[in-house]
Amino acid sequence: MDAIDNLGDAIDVTRDRLTPIDLGTWLKLAIVIFFVGGLTVGGTGFPVGDVGGIGAETDEDISFGDLEAEWEAEFGDDLSFEEFLIGLAFLAGILFLLWLLYALIGAIMEFVFIESLRNDEVRLRRYANGNVGQGIRLLAFRLALLVAVSVPVLVPIWWVVTSADGISPALAVAGLLYGLAILGLGLVYVIVNRFTTVFVTQVMVGQGVGVLAGWRRFWSTLRANLGEYVVYLLLIWILQFVVNIGFGVLAGITAIVVAIPFIVLAVIFALFGGAGVALAVLVGFVGLLTVFLAVLLIRVPVDAYFRYYEFLLLGDTDAELDLIPSRRVAAASGDDGIGDAPADDPSKAWTEGTDGAWGGESEDDHGGSPTDGTDTNDGASSGDDWDTSSEWSLEDDDRDAVDDEEDDDGRGW
């Protein structure tokens, strides 16, 4: 099954793409992952949440008028309740705009991540500029999906809060059913959001289409390979759970090791007082940024592995949507992983394209164009091995004659 086999192939592809380690490449990928990674490695995890407390009673009912009266009694001389609400709304608006900006950059970076992994170079500005429109479409779809899920969740809560008088047996049963419905709706949301992020975006890049057209194209692949994608979901959630535990431990150790020098230096500066305190604050700020960057660098190979796993799965279930054909061929055919020549025809290892581990070699490096299976030298013949004939493969007597003529050359081999 491809969903299982690709787990191992993704390791080979990730190792080939990220080694030898290039600090510039890793730093750029770390920046991308900051926007696309979320709080868990590997993308969206299994939905969890608290569905309890709906319609719960309180010791006393607190009305809006009571809140206003208490505020005026406490702070009325300095700040009126209306001014407080205006300031609160303004702050909420600023935070929402900042979140929206982050979400937009994250949507664009989804395509930057795909382009960076399918190609041999990471070009943040070029890939970002080329995918602004796609990022806006992806963000619009995500917002529409969030609204479509939130409305059925929030409307019953609003009704209970504004209309219900206490908890009746019927309301308790309805609350239980409502909680189960939220779990089901949350599961649907997580699945649709994950498939959009890791599969439909590939279709958008490969086919040059929008989100809805990408979903229509992916839907046929999903229906034809439903078992593969069900197994994928189960495996990816298990892997994320395990990997996030290991990542948390490793990130904690890394943070401590990286932070120790900055803490020591900040304490030394602080002991001098005055300007030393300002320097201590600056050192602490730089230390926090360094720790944050170190943790992101740890995430680079992990997030790249998960995304390559999804590249391989989509390409194996639908060859037309394959974004990394040569990396897949090399991973599946090599005896020792990426970079090994396929056993059936070694020449194909470097004719698949520039994405392959051998794809960077040119025709000049091999003395001719291998794509047609022939050599450019006269008399050459194609075969399954590297021992092909050429113009110096003469009959025995002709070779002897050539050797006799060159006996006095004085050079030999």
Residue 410, domain member (yes or no)? no
Are residues 221 and 363 located together in one domain of the fold?
A: no
Is the domain of 112 the same as that of 34?
A: yes
The pLDDT tens digits of the residues spanning 279-327 come to 999 999 999 999 999 999 999 999 999 999 999 999 999 999 999 998 8
Confidence class for position 35, pLDDT limits 50, 70, 90: very high
Same domain (yes/no): 25, 138: yes
Handedness of CA 93, 94, 100, 104 (dihedral sign): positive
Q: What is the mean pLDDT of residues 182-198?
A: 93
Residue 177 has pLDDT above 70, yes or no: yes
Contacts of 190 (CB under 8 A, 6+ apart): 44, 45, 46, 47
Q: What is the 3-state secondary structure (H, E, C) of 83-138?
A: HHHHHHHHHHHHHHHHHHHHHHHHHHHHHHHHHHHHCCCCCHHHHHHCCHHHHHHH
| 96 and 28 share one domain | yes
pTM of the predicted model, to two decimals?
A: 0.71
pLDDT by residue (tens digit) across 369-379?
Answer: 333 333 333 33
Assigned domain for 335 exists: no
317, 336, 360: which is the final residue of a domain? 317
349 with 279, same domain? no
Last residue of a domain, one of 317, 335, 354: 317
For the stretch 64-98, pLDDT in tens is: 566 666 766 666 666 777 777 888 899 999 999 99
Residue with tokens 């005055």: 274
**Crossing angle of helices 2-18 and 226-271, rounded to 10°:** 40
Distance, in Å, from the CA atom of 338 to the CA atom of 359, rounded to the nearest integer, reads: 12
Domain assignment of residue 152, given as a range: 2-317
In a domain, 167, yes or no: yes
Residue 84 lies in a domain: yes
Peptide bond into 20 cis (omega under 30): yes
The answer to whether residues 300 and 220 belong to one domain is yes
41 and 183 both lie in a single domain = yes
Q: Are residues 146 and 264 in the same domain?
A: yes
Whether 195 maps to a domain, the answer reads yes
Residues 288, 157: one domain? yes
Query: Do 309 and 348 reside in the same domain of the chain?
Result: no
Cα separation, 112 vs 135, whole angstroms? 10
Statement to judge: residues 185 and 108 lie in one domain: yes
User: Within a domain: residue 323?
Assistant: no
The total of structural domains in the chain comes to 2
Please report whether residue 293 resides in a domain: yes
**Cα 320 from Cα 78, distance rounded (Å):** 67
Handedness of CA 375, 379, 385, 387 (dihedral sign): negative
| pLDDT at 334 (0 to 100) | 60
- The answer to whether residue 332 sits within a structural domain is no
**What is the C-alpha separation between 324 and 311, in angstroms, rounded?**
7
